[in-house]
Every structure is written in C-alpha cells, then in structure tokens.
Structure 1
C-alpha cells in the first residue's frame, strides 16, 4: 500500500492526537517542540503526578523500534539494547493510522518499555522482531508461520489504562 503522508507528518499527527486524547481525559499536557528531543515528546500531569510520554506514529501496521540495534545481535539482544536506552518511567503511546479514514480517530495504545520489550521478544513465534506489529498474521513462507502477533487489548488507550500506568510508573 502506498504511504499517504510522510513519516514527519505522521509523527506530528500522532503527537497532536495523543495530546488531544490526554487533554480530553482531563490531564494537563505539555508538548515539547524542536529537534533532538530527549526520550519523551509530551508530559502528562494530574495534580502532582507526571508521566513522560514517547509518541510513535505509524501508517503501515507496525512500529519499527529496534532495527538500529540489530547489527551483530540477535532479535532478543537488539530488544535488550533498545530497552537499556529507555527510562522505565517513560510510557510509549503507539498511534496507528493504517486503514483509518481522514475523519476518524486512529487506534491508540499505551505501553511501558518493559511491556514492549516482552512483546517484541515473543513475536514471530518467540524468535523476536524489530517491529512491533499491531496485528501480524505470519504466512506459510515465514519461520513463524501459523502464528499471529497482536497488540494486547489491555494496551488500548483509556482512562483506566492511564491510571494503571501512573501506578506502574511508581507515582
């Protein structure tokens, strides 16, 4: 499928949707702008509690997260290197635009770095992957044939999930 927009536009849209969703849930949102951002894109605040949010947008059904760590490493080692580079208090917001009409909301998920690392290691029938797939059905030609990698339903964006993540972040 031909990409509809550039990755830059997808990133901007993903951040805007994320900020809007958190604001709609009653949280204060601070957005960082400019080049070379630290580990997070947004800060979400409730009273004295705060979450750092790293936003990843996609329009192809997956989020490439560990490709840069794969050289001379197994999939699992690449995931471990990726995980070592992320603060455990940062939450990832995964925004998916694939097959979403221009006037519809994208699918949005929230996950910790540890949850993502575990899912990446379980992918492809346990071989591991560099891409976190929203819903990947492995074909008969793949080593993981007959398996399906899918984002856990518990990661779906909701007020309950946000509250759970405030708790997991140790706040």
Structure 2
C-alpha cells in the first residue's frame, strides 16, 4: 500500500528537505540548512573539502513539480514562462527534486539532482516540444500524439551525479 497522506504542502516540503539533507550527509557532505521561512534561491548548502554547493529542494506527492506555473498566462508562452523561471535562478544552484508518489512510508522517495538549465531544457521538450509548466517524473500522455515525458535516469541522486554537478557549477 502506497501512502502519501501528507496534510499540507508544508509537510511535503519539510520531508523533502529532510530526505535531501540525509542523503547528502549519508555520502559524507556537511549540510547546512537555512533558517526561517521563504528562503531565497536555496534551502541547503552542502560542503565536502573545498566543494560547496547551494541546493534548492522541491518536493512532490503527485508525480510532478509545478515550477513555472506562476509565470504562465495567456500572454506568456510555455517557453517564455520557462525562461522567466530560469532567469530567477543562479547557474550555481542545483535542484533536488524529491518524489513521494507511489512510495510506502518505509521507503526513501526518488530523488533527482539537476541544474536549472537542465530542468528548463527538459521542460521545453515536454508534450513533444510544446513545453509545460510542470516538470513530470514520468507522464504518459493519452493518445499517441505525444511521447512520454520522463526525467533522465542519470539525474537520480548518486555520488557520481553530485560530482558531475559540483564540477558543472564551479
């Protein structure tokens, strides 16, 4: 039985941040958590030796992260909304995308790491290149006019992915 009985989006956020902090600590990184509400740009700072990285954490219990929805309206295209979102983020920040859908209480959710550019590029390919406001973990569209939207497997949290990202954000 899968349980996603979070009471509020705040609970999802707290759980996602905690899982991300745990995973970085588990592979030997020091983790600093920003204190207070509505922190700008990032939630965690991780460090190991001379390597330091800012991490923005996004949690989801429904299969996707509505990252650019607030930028999209009738006058703003999907691509433009994605570009507006991208402009708000430092190229030195990495996102931790935590997905709780279809996980049991005793399981660690799936965690992906990606740069803002990687996320923006993937969102622009959504719906056969039409773009979307939601980054979806694995969405198979109805009908055969769309190919599935899937997060790349190499984004999964791993030590090699962390090293790849820390090298790219220097």
TM-score, normalising length: structure 1: 0.94
Paired with 2:111 and 2:38, the residues of 1 have a C-alpha distance of: 24
User: What residue in structure 1 maps to residue 15 of structure 2?
Assistant: 13
Match of 1:135 in 2: 138
1:159 and 1:36 mapped to 2: Cα distance? 29
Answer with 68-77 or 17-26: which moved more. 68-77
Cα distance, 1:28 vs structure 2: 0.3
Distance in 2 of aligned mates of 1:88 and 1:137: 30
**Structure 2 CA distance, aligned partners of 1:18 and 1:79?**
24
SS of 2:20's partner is helix
**1:152 and 2:152 correspond:** yes
**Which SS does the other structure have where 1:123 is aligned?**
helix
Matches within 5 A, 1:29-108: 29-71=31-73, 72-108=75-111
Q: Residue 111 of structure 1 aligns with which residue?
A: 114
Q: Distance in 1 between matches of 2:151 and 2:145?
A: 18
Q: Which structure 1 residue ranges, 5 or more long, are not aligned?
A: none
Q: CA deviation at 1:146?
A: 3.7
The Cα of 1:3 is off from its aligned counterpart by 5.8
Q: Which runs of 4+ in 1 moved over 4 A?
A: none
TM-score (norm 2): 0.95
Aligned length, in residue pairs: 167
* RMSD, aligned CA: 1.5
Are the equivalent residues in 1 in contact too, given 2:4–2:103 (CA < 8 A)? no
- The verdict on how the C-alpha distance between 1:24 and 1:119 changes in structure 2, with shifts beyond 3 A counting, is same
